[in-house]
């Protein structure tokens, strides 16, 4: 069975913090300096990207300089337009700032999401600093029949079956509840975990299929969603073929370049 894996690593010192992420589809990093209250400088690193236009996304992070740090990632994201940014680097910046403000300068998150379809719940886990933080059973609805390249196969609908207090909650609505129900520390962990589960659905598509215009297919449902999928980039966005990796049997290879 294929297992989608995503690692997020926070590492910092007073006044400076970095956040790095790697999964099957991406390898990004963000380096940030701050004065304890606001961002004084930020730099993005687009190391392995699914689209050619992603490499220009780090420049957009300069719009974050001068913004205040927030103890919860969702509060940070509300301060600027996330759709003008690379989703992944913007989230790393939000997480880095939240961890810095809380004084949580070292954290290592590892999500494990088996790619299983059908009505039986799937066990998905999130480790933090080597220990299980979340151990969920998630029901991923059976996918519709038809073209395996259809973006409709990526439509959400995952439901957490257990444990409490997450049981019965749809992933698409989870963060609204979590913002008020959880501490900022746990919220950020759920934030990472939910994104990991959602992104894992990309393994249901053959993104490198030679006979399919994947960019056009995804623009049809994601237009305007992020830096790369702005409408004016449709004509110049192409797939970085071969950029998807499989970490099923080698979780230790994630973020190996900074280990």
pLDDT, tens digit (0-9, with 9 covering 90-100), for 138-191: 998 765 433 444 444 444 578 999 999 999 999 999 999 999 999 999 999 999
Range of the domain at 68: 1-206
Cα 44 to the center of its chain, rounded Å: 15
Single pTM value for the model: 0.92
Position 57 in a domain: yes
Position 171 in a domain: yes
Structural domain count, the chain: 1
Position 200 in a domain: yes
pLDDT, tens digit (0-9, with 9 covering 90-100), for 230-258: 999 999 999 999 999 999 999 999 999 99
Position 221 in a domain: no
Position 224 in a domain: no
Position 25 in a domain: yes
Position 214 in a domain: no
> What does the H/E/C string look like for 156-212?
CCCEEEECCCCCCCEHHHHHHHHHHHCCHHHHHHHHHHHHHHHHHHHHHCCCCCCCC
Position 238 in a domain: no
Cα–Cα distance, 107 to 44 (Å, whole number): 19
């Amino acid at each position: 069975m294929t297992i989608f894996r995503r690692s997020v690593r926070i590492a910092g010192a007073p006044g400076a913090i970095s956040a790095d992420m790697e999964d099957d589809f991406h390898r990004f990093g963000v380096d940030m300096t701050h004065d304890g209250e606001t961002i004084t400088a930020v730099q993005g690193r687009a190391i392995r990207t699914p689209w050619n236009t992603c490499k220009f996304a780090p420049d957009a992070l300069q719009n974050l300089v001068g913004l205040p740090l927030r103890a919860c990632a969702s509060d940070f994201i509300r301060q600027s337009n996330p759709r003008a940014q690379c989703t992944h680097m913007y989230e790393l910046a939000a997480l880095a700032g939240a961890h810095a403000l809380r004084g949580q300068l070292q954290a290592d998150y590892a999500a494990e999401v088996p790619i299983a379809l059908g009505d039986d719940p799937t066990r998905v886990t999130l480790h933090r600093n080597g220990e299980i933080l979340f151990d969920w059973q998630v029901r991923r609805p059976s996918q519709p029949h038809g073209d395996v390249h259809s973006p409709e196969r990526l439509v959400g609908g995952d439901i957490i079956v257990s444990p409490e207090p997450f049981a019965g909650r749809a992933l698409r609505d989870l963060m609204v509840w979590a913002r008020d129900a959880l501490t900022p520390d746990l919220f950020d962990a759920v934030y990472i975990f939910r994104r990991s589960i959602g992104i894992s659905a990309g393994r249901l598509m053959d993104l490198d299929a030679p006979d399919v215009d994947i960019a056009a297919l995804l623009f049809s449902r994601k237009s305007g969603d992020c830096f790369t999928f702005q409408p004016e980039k449709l004509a110049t966005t192409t797939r970085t073929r071969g950029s998807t990796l499989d970490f099923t049997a080698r979780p230790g290879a994630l973020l190996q370049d900074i280990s």
